[in-house]
Amino acid sequence: MRIDIVTLFPEIALAPLSESIIQRARKAGLVEIAAHNLRDWTTDKHHKADDTLCGGGQGMLLKPEPIFAAIEQLRTPESKVVLMTPQGRVFKQAVARELSAESHLILLCGHYEGVDHRVIEQLVDLELSIGDYVLTNGAIAAAVVTDAIVRLLPGALGNEQSSVEESFSDPNLLEAPAYTRPIDFRGHVVPEILLSGHHGNIAKWRKERALERTRANRPDLLES
Ligand code: ADE
C-alpha cells in the first residue's frame, strides 16, 4: 500500500508516523508513506497556496491550481483521493478497514477555511472527518487516519489477534476494563474473578463490564 499526504505542513503529518508500530511497518515494506508540501506545486514567486473567499466572508481558502497540479502528478488509475475536512463523513473503524484494502491513498489536507469547492467536485473521492471538532490543520487528521489504516495491514501488529479483539471490532461495544500487576496497588485490588483461572466466568464478567462501560460512556452505541 502507498499513502501520499498533501499538506502545507508535511512535518506535522509525518512526525507521528515515524515512530513505533507505523515506522516498523514502513521499514518492513508494508506501506510506503510520503508527505508532500502543497507549496511545491505553486507557481507564483511567493508560493501562495490560499486566497480570500469569493462572495466575502472570514478566512482563507486553499486555491485550486496547486491542488490540481499535485493530485494530477501523484495519482494513478488505482488512487483514491481523500480530503480531510470537518465537513466529511465521520471516520470510524469500519472506514479504516475499507480504506486498508486500497492500494493507493492520497490524503489531501485542508487548512484555514478549507479548499475551493471545485477540488471536491473534480478530484475528491471521499471527504473524511475524524470527529465533530475543528482542528487547525488537516495534517493532524491525516496522521490519525493513516495510523488507524496502517495498523490494520497484515503483519503491522506483532500479534494478529490484537486488532481483532479490540473495541470497535464489535462496533457496538467498548472493551472491558483491564488490569495488570501488582495485584494490590495502594490497596486497590484487581477483581478476584480475573485471578480465578475460570475462563468461562472471566469471559462473562468481561462482557458484563463491557456493556456497563458502553452504557456509561457511549449509550449511542447501544441504541444503534
Ligand atoms: N480539519 C480540521 N478539522 C478536521 C476534522 N475534524 N477532521 C478532518 N479534518 C479536519
Domains of the chain, earliest start first = 2-150 (3.40.1280.10), 170-223 (1.10.1270.20)
Percent above pLDDT 90 for the chain = 92
Give per-residue pLDDT as tens, 188-199: 999 999 999 999
Could you tell me the three cell numbers for 193? 474473578
Alpha carbon distance 211, 217 (integer Å): 10
Distance of CA 111 from the midpoint of ligand 1 (Å): 9
| Residue 20 binned pLDDT confidence (cut-offs 50, 70, 90) | very high
Among residues 168, 96, 93, the alpha carbon closest in space to that of 126 is found at 96
Residue nearest to atom 4 of ligand 1 (CA): 86
Instruction: Please say if the pLDDT value at position 167 is more than 60.
Output: no
Terminal-to-terminal C-alpha distance of the chain: 33
Edge-to-edge, what's the strand order for the sheet holding 104-109?
A: 32-37, 2-7, 104-109, 79-90, 126-129
Residue range 23-39: average pLDDT? Answer: 98
Could you tell me the three cell numbers for 122? 473534480
Radius of gyration of the chain (CA): 22
Give per-residue pLDDT as tens, 4-19: 999 999 999 999 999 9
The single residue listed with the C-alpha cell 502545507 is 8
Distance of CA 125 from the midpoint of ligand 1 (Å): 17
Residue nearest to atom 1 of ligand 1 (CA): 138
Q: What is the mean pLDDT of the chain?
A: 95
What does pTM read for this prediction?
Answer: 0.94
DSSP 8-state secondary structure symbol assigned to residue 132: S
The per-residue pLDDT for 164 is: 61
Give per-residue pLDDT as tens, 73-92: 999 999 999 999 999 999 99
Could you tell me the three cell numbers for 159? 500479534
Residue range 129-143: average pLDDT? Answer: 96
| Contact predicate 127/120, CB 8 Å | yes
Instruction: Please say if the pLDDT value at position 161 is more than 60.
Output: no
Instruction: Please say if the pLDDT value at position 153 is more than 60.
Output: yes
CA dihedral 84, 96, 1, 29 (to 10 degrees): 110
The single-letter code of the amino acid at 85 is T
What residues flank ligand 1, with Cβ below 6 Å? 84-86, 110, 129-131, 133-135, 138, 141
The per-residue pLDDT for 206 is: 98
Q: Do you find a cis peptide bond into 182, omega within 30 degrees of 0?
A: yes
